[in-house]
Amino acid sequence: MSMSVIKEAKPAHREFELDRTVLFSDAVFAIAITLLIIEIKLPAMPAHLPAGGYREVLNPFLMEFFTFAMSFLFIGTFWKWHLHLCRFLQHYDDGLIHRNLFFLFFIVTFPFSTGAMMHMGNHFMLPLYIYLFNLAGCLAGLFWISYYIFQRKPGLAVAGLHTEKELLYQRLKYSFLTMAFGFTALALAYFIYPDNTTIQNLSFCLIPLLIFFNHFRLKIKKRNTLRLVHVGDKPS
């Protein structure tokens, strides 16, 4: 029933429905990014605080604020990439809606995983895995949407702009693969060597190394793609 309504909708109505999809996504982003700050509260100050005691009292607050700022940056980056994807859309279908909802599910859970990181106490690993899994889920959702738009259903996207589409698709693909591989390596290190803190700590180095490799790989891909476009534009 819903598919027949979508297919028979007039162009103006279709454009309005597509706008509703984008606006709904923006509303989810806005709510999630606002809920992050709710977890932050100033600590209770003792009545008689010795000189130099502010640092000890404020240390937990500073950690919470750092986690908030980090999550704010992540959600803002995901919103920017989602906006870039929506820039190429001219149509939609149920498959795109389902993939978008999958992505938004992990955006909604960001305040929860951020709160877990803020109040982790001595239990560091579990909140960290929850947070990294949340990041991996967001990147998986973005990559799934980009694959659906650019590879599986290219008719949903506007014509042309092949270079921009390819570069965005590659960025989302390698970002997802980086986080997925890093999260898997961390999980394996923790479960295979639960008592070996050295291996667990070394496994944390994988993620920044993979991010650096991903950045370097994307720069090469962008340079090669733009070079091919430049060569193709030369008059014969």
Domain boundaries, the chain: 1-159, 160-236
What tens digit of pLDDT does each residue of 37-77 get?
A: 887 776 666 666 665 556 666 666 778 888 889 999 999 99
Question: What's the pLDDT score for residue 8?
Answer: 46
Q: What is the DSSP string of 92-120?
A: --HHHHHHHHHHHHHHHTHHHHHHHHHT-
CA distance 162 to 225: 10
pLDDT tens string 86-128: 888 888 888 999 999 999 999 999 999 988 888 766 666 778 8
C-alpha angle 163-167-171 in degrees, rounded to nearest 5? 170
Q: Is the pLDDT of residue 213 over 90?
A: no
Q: What is residue 61's predicted lDDT score, i.e. its pLDDT?
A: 73
Max CA distance (Å), the chain? 82
Phi and psi at 46, nearest 5°, equal -65, 155
Residue 117: per-residue pLDDT: 83
Q: pLDDT tens for residues 144-174?
A: 999 999 988 888 888 888 888 888 888 898 8
Digit-coded pLDDT (tens) for 179-194 = 888 888 877 877 787 7
Instruction: Summarize the confidence of residues 207-221 as an average pLDDT.
Output: 69
